[in-house]
Structure 1
Amino acid sequence: MVLLRRVCQLYAGLVLYGISLALMVHAALGLDPWDVFHQGVADRTGLSFGTATLLAGAVVLLLWIPLRQRPGLGTVSNVLVVGPTVDVTSWLLPSPEGLVPRVGLLALGIVLNGVASGAYLGAGFGPGPRDGLMTGIHRRTGRSLRGVRTGIELSVLAVGFLLGGTAGVGTVAYALCIGPLVQFFLPRLTPSPRAVLPESASGAET
């Protein structure tokens, strides 16, 4: 029963993660660094946001090979589930008019992202491609997790911004809030002691 609960929690978390990203995209007040990059790629290539997210995750997953990282069910499912969920949710969501509805969408998206991160990480089936890239570089170079993550996030933010991705107050709000949110929800959404919590839990992604 614990295994079944963990599997259900994994996929519920990933679907919720995709919904949270779509909410933040529709708010148009700034995205987290990776999603600034995804949006920039989508704008430049004509791909949907979800497809850009999926393809970027697949490319990042290939970078695990020289780092000798091993993907888990959660890793592969992250690549396959989040992108399509973003597209479906974006198609269903109306575009908000006015600052107040947009701020509301942003706030809801960030909170749901924290819940989703806690759920999918707490299921214990492995980190997403981008978190795995961070931990892999950390192990291979010996540099701190914080330093590696900061370097990656600043790099993708800069590239995404140059490609036309939306960076703004939402980017800052996400950066300030996501760590405490995941820290709050992760222990409450870990159904089994065997569900090992990744070192990167304080800043989870898709």
Structure 2
Amino acid sequence: MKYFFIRLLRLILGLFLYALGIVVTMNAQLGYAPWDAFHVGIGKMTGISIGTASITTGIIIGLITVLLGEKLGLGTILNMVLIGVFLDMLLALNIIPIAGNLLLGTIMIIIGLFIIAFASYFYIGSGFGAGPRDSLMVALTRKTGLSVGICRGTIELLAVLIGWRLGGMIGIGTIISAFVIGFCVQKTFKLVKFDPTKVNHETLNQTYQMLHKKSSTTL
């Protein structure tokens, strides 16, 4: 049970870091990252918050990845919900500084992307099921045989094109994010010697069975 809670803590930490990375890139003020532009575009079109748009998008992508053969786990569901919650919370607290020039903005974008990459390592490695966007990345990597970086970069480019059409703020930062996120993820995973395709994720049913068995044993 102790190991379970350590994994759960790792998962939640990863989701918080992911939201933090998003806010850092947004406050760079050089154009939103692909998914942020997409979420902002959805928000403008529907009148919902960025966090709510993130949650809604996550649910839809989660369903797609299940159809592609990825496992739906506790981490997948918490990813759909908590990143949006943390995102709205961090934006409301307004504790991340806003860049005032191109150099600082570029630095903030790079930092934010590496925060997102490390966040992906934490929550994917928890084994509770990758988030919907990362599940899509892993599914495409398995299906196509292409590298993680190429698959992630392709997904980001599609997101930014749709986000732009929906009215999300696009700029030099968007281009940097779209092309660099794959590099950041690949370099980070290589640094920590992490292969996301080899993680044996628990399904919701497996997690439930494990907790039920532990509870029965303690009783």
Q: Shared fold (TM-score greater than 0.5)?
A: yes
Any conservation in 2 of the 1:39–1:160 contact (CA below 8 Å)? yes
Choose 23-32 or 148-157, whichever is displaced more: 148-157
- Post-superposition shift, 1:103? 4.1
What is the RMSD computed on CA atoms of the aligned residues?
Answer: 3.1
Question: In structure 1, how many angstroms separate the alpha carbons of the residues matched to 2:33 and 2:183?
Answer: 15
Choose 145-154 or 84-93, whichever is displaced more: 145-154
* Identity level (%): 34
Map Cα deviations across residues 96-142 of structure 1 (whole Å, 9 max, x no partner). 36215544543432232222122212222221112223444565xx4
- For the residue of structure 2 that corresponds to 1:127, the secondary structure is coil
1:96 aligns with 2:80: no
1:163 aligns with 2:157: no
Question: Larger radius of gyration, structure 1 or 2?
Answer: 2
Alpha carbons of structure 1 residues 186 and 8: separation in structure 2 relative to 1, 3 Å: farther
Q: Which of 167, 172, 176 is the equivalent residue of 1:173?
A: 176
Q: Which of 140, 153, 156 is the equivalent residue of 1:153?
A: 156
1:68 aligns with 2:69: yes
Any conservation in 1 of the 2:153–2:178 contact (CA below 8 Å)? no
Any conservation in 1 of the 2:34–2:177 contact (CA below 8 Å)? no
**Aligned match of 1:199:** 197
**Aligned match of 2:13:** 12
Any conservation in 2 of the 1:44–1:163 contact (CA below 8 Å)? yes
Question: In structure 2, how many angstroms separate the alpha carbons of the residues matched to 1:114 and 1:137?
Answer: 18
**Aligned match of 1:121:** 124
Alpha carbons of structure 1 residues 148 and 187: separation in structure 2 relative to 1, 3 Å: closer
- Post-superposition shift, 1:62? 1.9
Show the 5 A alignment for 1:99-114.
99=101, 102-114=105-117
Question: In structure 1, how many angstroms separate the alpha carbons of the residues matched to 2:162 and 2:178?
Answer: 17
Alpha carbons of structure 1 residues 200 and 53: separation in structure 2 relative to 1, 3 Å: farther
Code of the aligned partner of 2:19: G
Q: How many residues align?
A: 194
Q: Which runs of 5+ in 2 are unaligned?
A: 200-219
Code of the aligned partner of 1:115: F
- Post-superposition shift, 1:63? 1.8
Map Cα deviations across residues 139-190 of structure 1 (whole Å, 9 max, x no partner). 5xx4344565555333222111111112322233334543454345447768
Question: In structure 1, how many angstroms separate the alpha carbons of the residues matched to 2:50 and 2:195?
Answer: 29
Question: In structure 2, how many angstroms separate the alpha carbons of the residues matched to 1:150 and 1:101?
Answer: 24
Code of the aligned partner of 2:36: D
Alpha carbons of structure 1 residues 152 and 117: separation in structure 2 relative to 1, 3 Å: closer
**Under a length normalisation based on structure 2, what TM-score does the superposition of the two structures give?**
0.73
Any conservation in 1 of the 2:29–2:98 contact (CA below 8 Å)? no
- For the residue of structure 2 that corresponds to 1:29, the secondary structure is coil
